[in-house]
Amino acid sequence: MFLALDQVGLRYPNSHGRRAAVDAVTLALGRGQIGVLIGPSGCGKTSLLRSIAGLERLQAGRIRIDGETLADAGSGLHLPPEARRIGMVFQDYALFPHLSIAQNIGFGLQGLPRQQREQRVREMLELVGLAHAAKRAPHQLSGGQQQRVALARALAPAPRLMLLDEPFSSLDVDLREHLSQELRAILHASGTTALFVTHDQAEAFAIGDVVGVMHQGRLEQWDEAYTVYHRPATRFVADFIGHGVFTPARIVAGPDGPLVRTAVGELTDAGECPLPTAYPDGACEVLLRADDIVHDDLAPVKAQIERKIFRGAEFLYTLRLASGERLMAHVPSHHDHQLGEWIGIRAHVDHVVTFGIPAGVAAD
Ligand SMILES: Nc1ncnc2c1ncn2[C@@H]1O[C@H](COP(=O)(O)OP(=O)(O)OP(=O)(O)O)[C@@H](O)[C@H]1O
């Protein structure tokens, strides 16, 4: 693997007994791949990027790029940031205001002969679609354009790895969506391996070849976006990604493999679920995502609409069954029901995901 982190740990000197900011993180990224780290505020995303950049010293583990060890807590090896050939783009893109766009992009190329430098700057301007703006000053560009300049500046010295920490967070939603597509295309076009930090799921899924979910310093899952969504490795990941609920269920042995009994019916596609014996009496909780619940007037199970949020193409309904259990459902927005109305629902779950019942919650 091109980038390899092995049991990386970081604890800030002034953390006074609080947990490590980064705790035993192991991950690998292939050459040219884009990895995205997502997680709640304070989970350690920025600290992990800073460790890779060499801005923080590891207390545990090892970081390698292309077979070269950059940091190893065991031997005390710590290459300084400037020796790592890693590019960085942060939220605060801080272009030099008194330099033109072309000069900003060429800033890190002082070591190159003039002709080569100019050639590289032209290539980078082309890459980010700003060839027409070479002579302008940063303040003459929009926020999105300035962020593209920051990206071009970081890419110009051809870093081995690009680290991007919430680079779009100060931009508005439409622009973010557009730029995340563009960023993915630019990184892939230049063959750059990158690690991107965000707290926005849509952005993570749009950009990442691999997505990692962090929680309290630990990396809970590191997988393709599809797998993170459909096969969350932990309860935290299941809860953090997408809209859904955990609802009581019982796994039983059926004629063709395990069945999962829930208040919205029997879920049959449970081949990859643990065996019924994995939980006491088979009692567990099943993840039901909003897109697993289908509105169907003919369905025998009815649920009352407690809350609804209009999301353009669909509503996100919060539903309550007669038994009191709550579910969420995405319903096409032409099905505009009233709050309090009872509608028919059924579960259509492709990937059944179960977890043990947390301590303190009584099984039925
Ligand atoms: N320089 C520092 N000194 C001491 N503690 C720090 C320092 N920087 C971060 N921390 C702590 O380390 C933990 C991880 O912080 P970090 O900034 O890496 O999280 P994050 O996931 O990037 O959060 P956010 O999404 O809010 O930026 C937090 O508990 C934070 O308070």
Q: What is the pLDDT of residues 77-98, one digit of tens each?
A: 999 999 999 999 887 768 999 9
The set of residues, in sequence order, having a beta carbon less than 8 Å from that of 309 and lying 6+ positions away, is 315, 316
Instruction: Give the Cα separation of 61 and 58 in Å (integer).
Output: 7
The sign of the torsion formed by the CA atoms of 333, 336, 341, 343 equals negative
Contact indicator for 243, 289 with CB cutoff of 8 Å: yes
Structure confidence at residue 360 (pLDDT): 67
* pLDDT of 322 higher than 70: yes
Residue with CA nearest ligand 1 atom 13: 21
Instruction: Give the Cα separation of 225 and 312 in Å (integer).
Output: 23
**To test the ligand 1 pocket, which listed residue (12, 23, 25, 49) has its Cβ within 8 A of the most ligand atoms?**
12
Instruction: Give the Cα separation of 218 and 195 in Å (integer).
Output: 16
pLDDT > 90 fraction of the chain, expressed in percent and rounded: 63
pLDDT (average), residues 27-54: 95
Strands 244-254 and 193-198: unpaired
Q: Which two tokens stand for residue 232?
A: 């969350």
Residue with CA nearest ligand 1 atom 3: 12
Does any ligand 1 atom lie closer than 6 A to the CB of residue 199? yes
ipTM: 0.95
Give the confidence band of 362 by pLDDT, cuts at 50, 70, 90.
low
pLDDT (average), residues 312-336: 90
Give the confidence band of 13 by pLDDT, cuts at 50, 70, 90.
confident
CA 159 and chain centroid, separation = 23
Mean pLDDT of the chain: 90
Contact indicator for 282, 250 with CB cutoff of 8 Å: yes
Strands across the sheet containing 293-295: 293-295, 342-347, 301-310, 314-321, 326-332
Does any ligand 1 atom lie closer than 6 A to the CB of residue 21? yes
Query: Ligand 1 center to residue 41 CA distance, Å?
Result: 8
Instruction: Give the range among 12-16, 51-55, 357-361 with minimum mean pLDDT.
Output: 357-361
Q: What is the three-class DSSP state of 7?
A: strand
* Dihedrals phi, psi of 338, to nearest 5 degrees: -85, 155
**To test the ligand 1 pocket, which listed residue (8, 23, 46) has its Cβ within 8 A of the most ligand atoms?**
46
Query: Ligand 1 center to residue 46 CA distance, Å?
Result: 7
Residue with CA nearest ligand 1 atom 26: 41
What is the domain partition of the chain in residue ranges? Answer: 3-236, 243-355
Q: What is the DSSP string of 62-128?
A: EEEETTEEEEETTTTEE--GGGS-EEEEESS----TTS-HHHHHHGGGTTS-HHHHHHHHHHHHHHT
Q: What is the dihedral of CA 218, 224, 226, 227, to 10 degrees?
A: -60
Structure confidence at residue 347 (pLDDT): 92
* pLDDT of 336 higher than 60: yes
Structure confidence at residue 94 (pLDDT): 81
**To test the ligand 1 pocket, which listed residue (43, 55, 59) has its Cβ within 8 A of the most ligand atoms?**
43
**Could you read off the pLDDT of 212-228 as tens digits, one per residue?**
999 999 999 999 999 99
The sign of the torsion formed by the CA atoms of 173, 177, 180, 186 equals negative
**Could you read off the pLDDT of 249-304 as tens digits, one per residue?**
999 988 888 889 999 988 987 777 777 788 888 899 999 999 999 999 899 999 99
Contact indicator for 155, 123 with CB cutoff of 8 Å: no
Residue with CA nearest ligand 1 atom 12: 21
Q: Which two tokens stand for residue 333?
A: 């927005």
Query: Ligand 1 center to residue 181 CA distance, Å?
Result: 28
**Could you read off the pLDDT of 115-132 as tens digits, one per residue?**
999 999 999 998 888 999
**Could you read off the pLDDT of 229-238 as tens digits, one per residue?**
988 999 999 9
Q: Which residue has the higher pLDDT, 248 or 16?
A: 248
Give the confidence band of 50 by pLDDT, cuts at 50, 70, 90.
very high
Structure confidence at residue 27 (pLDDT): 97
Instruction: Give the Cα separation of 62 and 78 in Å (integer).
Output: 10
What CATH number belongs to 3-236? Answer: 3.40.50.300
Question: Between 3.90.660.10, 3.10.150.10, 2.40.50.140, 1.20.1440.230, what CATH number should domain 243-355 receive?
Answer: 2.40.50.140
**Could you read off the pLDDT of 163-199 as tens digits, one per residue?**
999 988 877 777 778 788 888 988 898 889 999 999 8
Q: What is the DSSP string of 156-195?
A: TT--SEEEEESTTTTS-HHHHHHHHHHHHHHHHHTT-EEE
